[in-house]
Amino acid sequence: MIDRMSTQPISLDDAFARFTDIWSPRIVATINDYDVRLARFAGEHVWHVHENTDEFFLVVDGEIDIALREDGDERVVTVPRGAVFVVPRGTFHKPSAKDGALVLLVEPSGTLTVGDTHDEVPDHVDVTTGHAL
């Protein structure tokens, strides 16, 4: 799979069509020791933090909200289709997508979807470092 990923282009539409699970990222490409992951967002994820890595979001379709805890305050960033956002390392955050969204993420391989510390994980959130497409 890795070989194929690195030798042929992959349409994001085709890649998203290969899975329907929400909050369960697929690895569409690797860049050295980083993953490019595709995820379907729908409803709410879980508050969590990645202590040692930033996390990049590009909204491919739909719109997402990312709640952030910063300096004791909470704010919500809305990221529309075609926009990018980086959650800095060490920042507690909770992504959500009221009406669903398709999202491309970039982060180091091995990064867990629920981070290093998190609230209780609901059943609809997959605890994973990403699945093969």
In whole angstroms, what is the distance from residue 98 CA to residue 86 CA?
20
Q: Which of residues 45-74 bind a copy of itself (CB under 8 A)?
A: 53-56, 58
**DSSP state, 52?**
T
Burial of 19 (0-12, 13-18, 19+ CB in 10 A): middle
Does residue 13 interact with a copy of itself by CB under 8 A?
A: yes
Cβ 88 vs Cβ 101: under 8 Å: no
Applying CB under 8 A, the span of 85-93, 95-103, 116-124, 125-133 interacting with a copy of itself comes to: 85-93
Does residue 9 interact with a copy of itself by CB under 8 A?
A: yes
Instruction: List interacting residues with a copy of itself (CB under 8 A).
Output: 5-6, 8-13, 28-32, 34, 36, 53-56, 58, 77-80, 82-86, 88-89, 104, 106-108
